[in-house]
A and B are shown apart, each in its own frame.
Chain A
Amino acid sequence: MMNRRRRTLLLLLFAIIFLSAITIAGAMLEERATLTDFTQKNLPPDRTHLFGTDFMGRDMFARTISGLSLSIRIGLLTALISTLIAFLLGTAAATLGKGVDATISWLIDLTMGIPHILLLILISFAVGKGFMGVLIGITLSHWMSLARIIRSEVMQLQHSGYIRVAEKLGVRKALIVQRHMLPHLMPQLMIGFVLLFPHAILHEASITFLGFGLSPEQPAIGIILAESMRYLTMGYWWLAALPGLMLIITVLLFNLAGKALVKLNNPASAHL
């Protein structure tokens, strides 16, 4: 029977397979992505060059896929670290008393007060451009919402009966978090992690596009699109349109996967 839950699960599987395929294919195409051929400059899409070629005769399909692969890998790393930060700070805010809670919520407000892109520019300015700058920037600017969610989840858990009992029995805080809270928080962390991806990927592309991120030698999507801008007036539409579309599909799949996880995790969707 094809009910909504099955469809949701299938979507999730499809997203995972598609995204893994891009990640692996992109890593393999990296060499081709930087291969120049000046006899094949600025060609519109055809059968040999699905996405056309750019001003140095590089194959745009190879560049796009390896750019996406790079994006996904950076997204994976930054989302992972952000989730970790969110978990640590969220749990700390909920368990270590009023002072810590106030400090952390202050920190969240502060970080959210500076527009994302501006914060990324500042961090890139502070630690320098390139991979490390992007990594630190994206990581430091994406943990806040999830930290808030984790904080309120932990607070709710603390009021539940069995954790109170454990506290009364004198079980250590760290042990309570590990044994009793982590299993309950795992779905939240998992969903938060998947939903961090789209933001991380889009912001990495944005900051690279502006010239504060990855270096021009790398076939990053932001670099590809920044280069395409110079050829826009000449009508070389494929340079901007096709890599951008692929990026949208990738991010959309992460968003759909996140939504699917939320749905499967939500008991309220029992009658969907």
Chain B
Amino acid sequence: MKHLIGFITKNLLRMVLLLLCVAIVTFALISISPIDPLSANVGQTALGSLSAEQIAKLEEYWGVGQPPVTRFVAWAKDFIRGDMGVSLLYRQNVSAIIGERLKNSLLLMTLAWLLSGILGFLLGIIAGARKGSLADKLIQGYCLTISSTPVFWLALILLLIFAVWLKWVPIGLSVPIGVEAADVTFLDRLRHAILPALTLSITGIANICLHTREKLIDVMNSDYVLFAKARGDKTGRIVRRHGIRNILLPAITLQFASISEIFGGSILVEQVFSYPGLGQAAVTAGLGSDVPLLLAITIISAAIVFAGNFTANVLYGVIDPRMRKGVKR
């Protein structure tokens, strides 16, 4: 037990430190940018609609004229308190934008994460248990092709087929136009999330499927499976008794660690489907030099990715008996 708490604390600490470093690096990248966010935004499009008072407030928040380190410390202090600043493009609190968009993105990503995880695992088992069979070749071919396919192209094609030609699903937006946000039901949200989630799942399968296949082949070539065969067990029973037992944990771990890829994919997919999630906001913020928003999105997404990695590590420590009982693997 003591061993476990130490293990979790260590991982947690590492995660927080990494997050801090991400913040510093992101801040540094934005600081060296030749684009001045204030003049880029306030100076042009938004200037007319912003009062002098608001501009002064923005300048004060953004610490114009101060050295980067001071600016970073000031920004970080506010950020930790929950004040992520004001979006230059949306002219709303960044925290409010992120709250709304994160909800949309999480729905999308959770659907895709679960769907791709389950399907990928099952396909990987089928391919690995019957290595060299037609099913294996088809599954491998699918994985290789899909991992060579740009996710945004797949999104375009699905949009073309299901929204333009068949008109089964709406072309964009996570809520129907003209309906009050409060009246939007969960079902409406789901309907609009289906196609983007499907796109992400189709591409997300490849990784987990190939990994599961490899691991299962390793298991099927192991001595203990040979012994199970010698004891008269059939392939199906061997897969259920020894295969899944030995590959489920690595597969779940990988799926947690692959949140970064699903997040990256969601940026592209949200853009194609004009789905109002974090990814689309990131693109808008990047193109429109909305620095506070871009910063906040980077930190939040890194936090989600690190939380995934953290979960993966801890799962191993808690579930695997070799780790649980403190044996070095």
The answer to the question of A115 belonging to the interface, with a C-beta cut-off of 8 Å to chain B, is: yes
Contact flags (1/0) for B225-253 with A, using CB distance below 8 Å? 00000000000000000000000000000
Contact B298 A114 (CB under 8 A): yes
Contact B297 A118 (CB under 8 A): yes
Chain A residue at minimal CB-CB distance from B31: A126
Find residues 242-293 in chain B having any chain A CB closer than 8 Å to their own CB: 260-261, 263-265, 267-268, 271-272, 279, 282-283, 286-287, 289
Contact A225 B171 (CB under 8 A): no
The answer to the question of A229 belonging to the interface, with a C-beta cut-off of 8 Å to chain B, is: yes
Contact for B305 among A115, A123, A128, A198, CB less than 8 A: A115
Taking CB atoms, residues of chain B closer than 8 Å to A125 are 29-30, 33, 35, 286, 289, 294
Contact flags (1/0) for A217-247 with B, using CB distance below 8 Å? 0000000010011001101010011001001
Taking CB atoms, residues of chain A closer than 8 Å to B148 are 198, 202, 248, 251-252, 254-255
The segment from A20-28, A88-96, A185-193, A203-211 that touches chain B is: A203-211
Contact B301 A209 (CB under 8 A): no
Q: How far is the CA of A254 from the CA of B271 in the complex (A)?
A: 27
Given A109-B18, A113-B302, A121-B286, A247-B144 contact (CB < 8 Å): no
The answer to the question of B166 belonging to the interface, with a C-beta cut-off of 8 Å to chain A, is: no
Taking CB atoms, residues of chain B closer than 8 Å to A106 are 18, 21
Quote the shortest CB–CB distance from B258 to chain A (angstroms). Answer: 11
The answer to the question of A256 belonging to the interface, with a C-beta cut-off of 8 Å to chain B, is: yes
Quote the shortest CB–CB distance from A215 to chain B (angstroms). Answer: 14
The answer to the question of B165 belonging to the interface, with a C-beta cut-off of 8 Å to chain A, is: yes
Q: How far is the CA of A212 from the CA of B301 in the complex (A)?
A: 19
Given A198-B148, A235-B165, A244-B156, A117-B268 contact (CB < 8 Å): yes
Main secondary structure of the interface of A (DSSP, over half): helix
Chain B residue at minimal CB-CB distance from A254: B148
Contact for B22 among A110, A211, A240, CB less than 8 A: A110
Find residues 243-270 in chain A having any chain B CB closer than 8 Å to their own CB: 244, 247-248, 251-252, 254-256, 259
The answer to the question of A64 belonging to the interface, with a C-beta cut-off of 8 Å to chain B, is: no
Contact flags (1/0) for B297-322 with A, using CB distance below 8 Å? 11001100110010000000000000
The answer to the question of B152 belonging to the interface, with a C-beta cut-off of 8 Å to chain A, is: yes
Q: How far is the CA of A205 from the CA of B151 in the complex (A)?
A: 10
Main secondary structure of the interface of B (DSSP, over half): helix
The answer to the question of A41 belonging to the interface, with a C-beta cut-off of 8 Å to chain B, is: no
Contact flags (1/0) for A3-23 with B, using CB distance below 8 Å? 000000000000000000000
Contact flags (1/0) for A152-193 with B, using CB distance below 8 Å? 000000000000000000000000000000000000000000
Contact for A240 among B29, B144, B153, B260, CB less than 8 A: B153
Contact A252 B145 (CB under 8 A): yes
Taking CB atoms, residues of chain A closer than 8 Å to B32 are 126-127
The answer to the question of B93 belonging to the interface, with a C-beta cut-off of 8 Å to chain A, is: no
Contact for A115 among B33, B260, B272, B287, CB less than 8 A: B260
Taking CB atoms, residues of chain B closer than 8 Å to A116 are 260-261, 264
Quote the shortest CB–CB distance from A251 to chain B (angstroms). Answer: 4
The answer to the question of A122 belonging to the interface, with a C-beta cut-off of 8 Å to chain B, is: yes
Contact flags (1/0) for A114-145 with B, using CB distance below 8 Å? 11111001111111100000000000000000
Query: What size tier do the contact residues of chain B reach?
Result: 35 or more
Contact B301 A118 (CB under 8 A): yes
Taking CB atoms, residues of chain B closer than 8 Å to A229 are 156, 272
Q: How far is the CA of A110 from the CA of B22 in the complex (A)?
A: 6
Given A125-B30, A125-B294, A235-B164, A113-B147 contact (CB < 8 Å): no
Chain B residue at minimal CB-CB distance from A244: B153
Contact B156 A118 (CB under 8 A): no
Quote the shortest CB–CB distance from B277 to chain A (angstroms). Answer: 13
Q: How far is the CA of A9 from the CA of B270 in the complex (A)?
A: 41
The answer to the question of B99 belonging to the interface, with a C-beta cut-off of 8 Å to chain A, is: no
The answer to the question of A112 belonging to the interface, with a C-beta cut-off of 8 Å to chain B, is: yes
Contact flags (1/0) for B165-197 with A, using CB distance below 8 Å? 100000100000000000000000000000000
Could you list 13 further interchain pairs (A-B, Cβ under 8 angstroms) beyond the known A116-B261, A117-B265, A211-B287? A114-B22, A114-B301, A115-B261, A116-B264, A117-B267, A127-B33, A128-B34, A210-B267, A235-B164, A248-B148, A252-B144, A255-B147, A259-B144
Can you offer 13 A-B residue contacts whose CB atoms are under 8 A?
A114-B260, A115-B261, A116-B260, A122-B30, A124-B286, A210-B267, A211-B287, A212-B287, A225-B156, A244-B150, A247-B150, A248-B148, A252-B144
Q: Which 6 A-B pairs have the closest CB atoms?
A: A251-B148, A244-B153, A115-B264, A126-B29, A252-B148, A115-B263
